[in-house]
Every structure is written in structure tokens, then in C-alpha cells.
Amino acid sequence: MKQLCLRVLLLIGVAVSGSSLAAIDTYEFADEKTRERFHQLSGELRCPKCQNQSLGDSNSPIATDLRREVYRLLTEGKTDRQIKDFLVARYGEYILYRPELSSHTLMLWLAPLLLLLIGLVVVVVLVKRRRSVVQSTTLNVAEQENLKTLLEGSDTSSEAESNKRD
């Protein structure tokens, strides 16, 4: 039992230590502003391999290469716009977490608004229908009187039938 526990602990240790051995990129920056730009760009750009990770969060080889490319472009003095345009030209708008508003991405930006408007219209229509059903189920005075006479007539006829049975 003791050896089994030791083996399990060893396996857990090996599994945990493997993730800590992941490559950590270290880059020398000319100033703090460039470092901040690098980290901001790494957070705004999506890893092409990973479904929902930024370049800064991903450990995939393509993310490492793209971080290196972003660093190279920053050291060459490129602006954030130029770096993003360069990467979009190579990998498409998918690489941007927040795609630019253009004719290609218009539906992406307008779809949430359209769905919200459709939802509001559906709610308004349902509320109006419900109100009309409630209003149509209430009886006006003439209908209430008619119902009262019918019920009174049925009460007297049901009493007469019960008296006949006795």
C-alpha cells in the first residue's frame, strides 16, 4: 500500500512538473513602453492553433513563433496597426480577438443587436397576446347576466331531477 501511494505521488509529480517545464519567452525590450505594447498585442491576438487562447496564453509552437514575430516587428519600429495588418494578411481576421468593423465583419458586429431586437419583438408580441386572451376571457355585464340565468335554470332543473330520483 505504501509503495502504491509513492508511485501515485511520483506520477502526479511528473505530470505537474511537465507543465512547469513549458518554454517561457524572454525578450529584451528597449523600454517599458515597448514591453507593454508587446504584452498588449499578445493579449489581443488569437493563437491560430488554439480555439480560445491569446498568443500570450498559448504554449503551442505557432504561438511561440508568432510572439517572436511580434517582437521582431516591434524592434523594427512597426506600429500596432502595421503589426496587426501583417498578421491579418497572413492568418485572416480570425487572429484578432476584436475584428475591425468592415463589410466582412458587419454581420459579426450586428448579429447580437439583431438577436436582441428579435427577442424584444417576440416578448412584446407574447405580452400583447396574453393581454388580449385575458381581456377576451372576462365577461361583460350582459354575458354575466345570461350566464347567471342559465346557471339558475340548470340548478332548478337539476333539483327537479334529483327529487324525481328520490
pLDDT in tens, 91-144: 888 888 777 777 777 777 788 889 999 999 999 999 988 887 766 667 778 888
The cell numbers describing 107, all together, are 454581420
pLDDT over 70 for what percent of the chain? 78
List Cα–Cα distances, 65 to 25, 37, 73, 87, in angstroms. Answer: 10, 17, 12, 12
Please tell me the total count of domains within the chain: 2
- Residue range(s) defining the domain that contains residue 28: 23-95
- Are residues 89 and 31 located together in one domain of the fold? yes
The sign one gets for the Cα dihedral 89, 91, 96, 100 is: positive
- Are residues 89 and 127 located together in one domain of the fold? no
Q: What is the pLDDT of residue 15?
A: 61
Q: Which of 37, 63, 95 is the last residue of a domain?
A: 95
Q: Where do runs of H (alpha helix) occur along the chain?
A: 2-20, 32-44, 61-75, 80-91, 106-137, 141-165
Q: Which of 37, 60, 95 is the last residue of a domain?
A: 95
Q: What is the pLDDT of residue 20?
A: 45
Stated pTM of the model: 0.52
- Are residues 119 and 59 located together in one domain of the fold? no
- Residue at 132 is within a domain: yes
The cell numbers describing 23, all together, are 518554454
**Residue position matching grid coordinates 502595421:** 82
